[in-house]
Amino acid sequence: MPNFFIFLLLLLFFLLSTNHMAPAYALTSPSDISALKSFKASIQPSSIPAWSCLASWDFAAVDPCASPRRTHFTCGLTCSPDSTRVTQITLDPVGYSGELTPRVSQLTQLATLDLADNSFYGPIPSSISSLLNLQSLTLRSNRFSGSVPPSITKLKLLESLDLASNSLTGFLPSSMTSMPSLRRLDLSFNRLTGSLPKFPPSLLELALKGNSLSGSLSKSSFDGLTQLEVVELSENSFTGTLQSWFFLLPSIQQVNLANNSLTRIEISSPAAGQSDLVAVDLGFNKIEGYAPVNFAAYPLLSSLSLRYNRLRGKIPLEFSQKKSLRRLYLDGNFLTGQPPKGFFGGQSPVSSGSLGDNCLWSCPASSQLCLPSQKPSSTCKQAYGGKPRS
């Protein structure tokens, strides 16, 4: 009998030791496994390098959420704390090529989907709207085509949407206000057309650079955007007047509207001299009128570009006296008269910029600010109806 008890004790010790040493294999949700298999199957095998994350996704060898991950599923996905659901897919940028399977919608606990800097193509599946826990969707720098699925606005928890640098076409979804958590929107460098919709009040950063968006900038699109800090709308086809309300958005810091077809700007001084505006680029438009002196009333403004427009008249003295201004580009206009002396002799805080290619006189040739050289007198006289510069 004693030998029997000793045997039982040894057996119990062995089982406990083995159980402690063995890896804890989790049971990933079958629907998640099915979706991951479809996800990988939709990618061309020839575009999966042997050393890449997807190459380590071997469903025959191990459960996807099993731990520790020494040889399989080494990267590219993250699971929930209980190792049953996939919560993140973040692929390495190695040039994976294929379509995004609609069955990705089965990963209902997914919070992050990041396929950036690869070669995915085809439409963004509308079924992506089933990912109700999604907080970050990053598909930038691929070859996705078709429209931005209107159903994407059903993602109530989405905080960041980055679809930049693809080949997306059509209009922006009209119901973006139904995305109450959205803080960052980047659809730059696509082929989007039409006017701007109304944006959700939660937005902090708006980037739509390098599309074919058109129309005027309507106050209704930006109404209630009290947290908006960054607006990047350059390289589009916006027209008309940029009204004074735009620069009075309470949190605005950076504005880039260069390379559009704006024809006029209205600038009001900020209320009580309070504003967070730091940088403005309105270069390469068709803006007419006088250089907007009220920009000098924005206390933190350090960079201002109005280059290559159709501005006339003299350079405001206030620009040369503004202590915060470090970069000033007024070149390529039809500005006249003598530039303020405060720009020269080491008095001005402006360290880079240009007043060149205008109709100025007595702009010191020794100053970098005066480059390139001024327009020929004949061009200036023609622009001012044959009247001499003054």
pLDDT for the residue numbered 113: 98
pLDDT in tens, 295-344: 999 999 999 999 999 999 999 999 999 999 999 999 999 999 999 999 98
Q: In what order do the strands lie in the sheet with 143-146?
A: 97-99, 119-123, 143-146, 167-170, 191-194, 212-215, 237-242, 261-265
Q: Which of 7-16, 213-222, 242-251, 297-306 has the lowest mean pLDDT?
A: 7-16
Name the one residue in this structure whose structure tokens are 């079924």.
127
Q: Tell me the pLDDT band of 369, cut-offs 50, 70 and 90.
A: very high
Distances (CA, A) of 177 to 129, 187, 203, 246: 15, 16, 10, 19
Name the one residue in this structure whose structure tokens are 């001499």.
388
Strand 86-90 vs strand 77-79: parallel, antiparallel, or unpaired?
antiparallel
Task: Name the residue ranges covered by the structural domains of the chain.
Answer: 76-384
Average per-residue pLDDT for the chain: 92
Alpha helices, H only, the chain: 2-21, 30-41, 219-222, 317-321, 377-383
Q: Which CATH architecture is the domain 76-384 placed in?
A: Alpha-Beta Horseshoe (3.80)
pLDDT in tens, 19-74: 333 344 558 999 999 999 999 999 999 999 999 999 999 999 889 998 887 789 99
pTM: 0.91
